[in-house]
Amino acid sequence: MATLSAAITNSVSRSPALAAAQTMEIIRKREEALSRILMAFVTTGLLFMVFPGTFLGVWNLLQISGKESVASISPAWLQAHGHAQVFGWVEVSF
């Protein structure tokens, strides 16, 4: 943030037209960087929610249907599925 302020202050002291162009370029670069970070965050959340969460859910359902009892699968598998789904949804929601 200090470099942004310094760049704006330096460009304003030279000429107003140049300062506006430089300021807009700095802002554009910052917005592009923030956009890339946001897309990485959302993509990671979706991947974490869909792949591990869905895989563990399907795995649990296959085990339940094969043995016809929820008690036949480990509680750790249920917890892992729940955590993967919740963490994926929470990350995507932010």
Segment 74-92 mean pLDDT: 81
Question: Could you read off the pLDDT of 29-49 as tens digits, one per residue?
Answer: 999 999 999 899 888 878 877
pTM: 0.51
CA–CA separation, 39 and 53 (whole Å): 20
Q: What is the CA radius of gyration of the chain?
A: 24
Task: Please report where in the chains the tokens 């509680």 appear, as a residue.
Answer: 75
- Write the single-letter amino acid at 81: H
